[in-house]
Structure 1
C-alpha cells in the first residue's frame, strides 16, 4: 500500500536530512574557512563540470517528454544555467567565481583537470536522467529541496573567511536562492502526483538517494585528492590553470 502524500513527502525530506552533501566534511572545511586557496580552486574546477552538465542533463530529459506543458516548464532550468539575453546564467556566474579565485576561466570552461571520480559521478547522473523513467529523472532533481540552506551557509561562510568573496564572485549562489524554489515547488509536486503506488514511491526515493550519492562522491574525490594530497594522474595540479599574473 502506498504512503499518503504527506508521509511520502516526509520520506523524501528524510533522505535529504540523512544524506545531503551539506554534511560532508569538505563543505564544513570550505564554509568554515579552513580550505587552502588551492583546495578552493580544485572545488571550483570540479564543480564547474557538474554545472556544465546540468543543462545537458535537462536537455536529455526534455528530449523524452511528450507533454508540451512539462517541456515548457522544464526548459526554464536550461535557461537558468545557459542564460538568455536578459539573464547571464549560472554557468557564466560560476566562471566569475573562477576569476575571483585566480583561475583562468578558459581553463575551467574547457573542463581540464577534472578529477576522474567527478567525471564518473556526473556522467552517471546524466545517463540516469537520460535512461530511467521520467518519474525517476524528476525525483533525482529533488536534492534542490535542500539546496537553499547550503547556498545561504556558503554565502555567509565564504564572505566571512575568504578575501575573494564578494557579491560578484558569489552571484551564482545568490541567484540560486531565487531560482531554486520555483524548481523545487514544481518538481516536488510532480513527483508527489505521479508516485501514486508503493512501487513508484520506492523508485522515486531510490532516485533521490542516487542523486545524493552523486553529490557526495564528488566531495569524497576532492577530499582525497586535495586535502589528503592523493591527486590522480591527469587531474588539476596546484599552479596550473591560473589567470595570468596570479602566483600559485
Structure 2
C-alpha cells in the first residue's frame, strides 16, 4: 500500500468505502455547516444584537465569555504540539500571540478586559472568574480537552467557526454603538481586531483541512469536529441565557 505525505503528515489511501469528496465539495459542506450552526443564530446573540439586552445581561456574557477567551491560547498550544512542520508551528503560534499579546498591554485578552471595564466589570473579578457559570466551564473545558486528545485534522477543523467570526464582529461594531451607547468605543477594540484576524486564521485553517482530509472518513471527522465546536459555542450561550432568565425571575 502506498503512503503519501500531506502537509508533513502521513496519509494512507482508503481501502474500500465511499470515494472522497473533492476539496471544493468538502469546503462547501464545511462552510454550509458553519453558517447554519454558528452561534450568531442563538437567541441570546440575536437579542443582544437587536439591542434588547440589559446591562446586567451584557456583564454576564462578557464575564463568562472571558473564560472562553482565556482558554483559547491554551487549546491553541495543544494544537501547536500536533503540527509536524516548522512553518505550520510558526503560523499557529501567531494565534497564541494574538490572544496573549507580546506584552501585558496588548493582545485579545487585554482587549477583552477593557470590554469588561467598559460594561462595568472590574479586572480583578474577571481575572478571578468570579461570575463563571458551571455550564460555561463545562463547555469550554470540553473544547480544550477535545483539542488535547484529537489529532491535528480534527483540532484544526474545530477552529473553522472562525470563518464566521468576522461577520459577527462587524455586526457588533455596528449594533453596539447604536443600542448600547453607554459602552465606550475603546471597549469595542476586541471586535475590531478580530475582523482581520478571523479572516486570516479561518482561511488558513480551511486550506489545511482541504489538504489533509483526503479520505471520506477524514472528511467526516473534519465536519464532526466543526459541529462539536458549534455545540460548544451554543452551549456557552445556553448557560448565559439561563442565568439571565433566572436574574429576571429573582428581580
Q: TM-score, normalised by structure 2?
A: 0.89
Indicate if the aligned counterparts of 1:139 and 1:188 stay in contact, CA closer than 8 A.
Answer: yes
**Correspondence for 1:14 among 8, 32, 35:** 32
Alignment partner of 1:39 is 2:38: no
Change in Cα spacing, 1:86 to 1:121, as seen in structure 2 (3 Å) is: closer
Q: C-alpha separation between the residues in 1 aligned to 2:248 and 2:236?
A: 15
Please list every run of 5 or more consecutive structure 1 residues that lacks an aligned counterpart in the other structure: 232-236, 239-248
- Which residue is equivalent to 2:172? 154
CA apart distance, 1:85: 4.0
Q: How does 1:66-215 map to 2 (within 5 A)?
A: 66-85=84-103, 88-215=106-233
Q: C-alpha separation between the residues in 1 aligned to 2:160 and 2:34?
A: 9
Alignment partner of 1:61 is 2:79: yes
Indicate if the aligned counterparts of 1:224 and 1:230 stay in contact, CA closer than 8 A.
Answer: no
**How far does the alpha carbon of each residue in 1:145-192 deviate from its partner, in whole angstroms, 9 at most, with x for none?**
011111111111111011333331100000001211111121000000
What is the root-mean-square deviation in Å for CA atoms of aligned residues? 1.8
CA apart distance, 1:112: 1.8
- Which residue is equivalent to 1:241? none
Match of 2:185, SS?
A: coil
CA apart distance, 1:97: 0.5
Match of 2:175, SS?
A: helix
Q: C-alpha separation between the residues in 2 aligned to 1:201 and 1:87?
A: 40
Match of 2:182, SS?
A: coil
Match of 2:120, SS?
A: coil
**How far does the alpha carbon of each residue in 1:20-69 deviate from its partner, in whole angstroms, 9 at most, with x for none?**
10000101111111111100000000000000000011112212333211
Alignment partner of 1:222 is 2:240: yes
Rg larger for: 2
Q: C-alpha separation between the residues in 2 aligned to 1:164 and 1:76?
A: 33
Please list every run of 5 or more consecutive structure 2 residues that lacks an aligned counterpart in the other structure: 1-18
Q: C-alpha separation between the residues in 2 aligned to 1:86 and 1:104?
A: 17
Q: TM-score, normalised by structure 1?
A: 0.90
Q: C-alpha separation between the residues in 2 aligned to 1:38 and 1:86?
A: 28
Q: C-alpha separation between the residues in 2 aligned to 1:4 and 1:63?
A: 28
Match of 1:169, SS?
A: helix
**How far does the alpha carbon of each residue in 1:199-226 deviate from its partner, in whole angstroms, 9 at most, with x for none?**
0000000000000000000111111111
Match of 2:164, SS?
A: helix
- Which residue is equivalent to 1:244? none
